[in-house]
Amino acid sequence: MARKIEGQVKDLDGFSVIRILPHKEQRMVGPFTFLDHMGPADFAPGEGIDVRPHPHIGLSTITYMLEGAMLHRDSLGNNLEVLPGDVNWMTAGRGIVHSERETIEVKASQHRLNGIQAWVALPEDMAEIEPSFTHIKKAQLPHFMHDGVIKRLIAGEAFGMTSPLKTYSPMFYLDVIAKAGSMLDRPNPEQDCLIYVLDGEVRIGGETFCANESVVLEEHDLCLECLSYSRVLMLGGEAFPTAPHMFWNFVSFSRERIDQASRDWKEGKFPKIPGDSCEYTPVPEK
């Protein structure tokens, strides 16, 4: 039967996240190796998000906003806001640095932040590719709309749709809203699948799951029933034969490569972010 995994509440610089992956009972789901629900958090004027420059290797990050706006800046020179429904897809490969902050306009007023941060591990033979960045507006993403159900495909392939984002292994990532009584099919039943309930109640295999609960589907779990208006994320993909190592913001199939990345960051060998190089996030103690 479907397995519920309890997210852990973490404090990150003054606001809380629900950390869903990695989990002691589930390191990965398909290529997804990290999943955080950021917020919802309400900020007074002058307060907000300031995630200082930090590095990544061996993965792609996916930033998907539900409410509010986040300012992305990186060492490739990108500098833009991600708004609700839009997608930031940043592939670190051999190494990239980015920061996540807010604009003057956002920070000057009372505001709310609510979003999802996911990491997708790169396959071992692609872990050292050149870093890259893609920003996709919500209108460019594939949508399915029928009988009170709207499915937006954020990344990968599912239900006959293909996202414009370039991915590096078979995967899917969907945002779905549905009216009460709707039955939602599982995407790509041969692949791993995690359901994260954002709003409402859903029933899977006779068990009910509510907002902020995560469920890993088993092979025979082929659909879910919405007991009320519901919004769910569906994500997963083809399982990796071997899970990579992960330390801090680094993902690699080699522990030595992670150690090298840590040394490189401490020694200032990663590229800088144009216009945002006065601060940095230190490597944590292991």
* Domain membership flag for residue 265: no
CA dihedral 264, 267, 271, 273 (to 10 degrees): 130
Tell me the pLDDT tens digit for each residue of 69-90.
999 999 999 999 999 999 999 9
Is a pLDDT exceeding 70 seen at residue 13? no
Residue 227's domain comprises 3-237
* Domain membership flag for residue 249: no
Is a pLDDT exceeding 70 seen at residue 201? yes
* Domain membership flag for residue 258: no
Vertex 138, ends 39 and 136: CA angle to 5°? 95
* Domain membership flag for residue 260: no
* Domain membership flag for residue 250: no
Mean pLDDT across the stretch 263-271?
98
- The rounded distance, in Å, linking the Cα atoms of 136 and 106 is 21
* Domain membership flag for residue 279: no
* Domain membership flag for residue 280: no
* Domain membership flag for residue 252: no
Query: For position 119, what pLDDT does the model report?
Result: 98
Query: For position 16, what pLDDT does the model report?
Result: 83
Query: For position 14, what pLDDT does the model report?
Result: 65
Is a pLDDT exceeding 80 seen at residue 191? yes
- Residue 12: pLDDT band by 50, 70, 90 thresholds? confident
Query: For position 97, what pLDDT does the model report?
Result: 98
CB-based contacts of 279, cutoff 8 Å, min separation 6? 52, 53, 99
Tell me the pLDDT tens digit for each residue of 150-190.
999 999 999 999 999 999 999 999 999 999 999 999 999 99
CATH code for the domain of 196: 2.60.120.10
Domain count, the chain: 1
Mean pLDDT across the stretch 229-253?
97
- 253 in the Ramachandran plot: left (φ > 0), alpha (ψ -120 to 50) or beta? alpha
- Residue 1: pLDDT band by 50, 70, 90 thresholds? confident
Encoded tokens for 26: 């589930």
Mean pLDDT across the stretch 37-64?
96
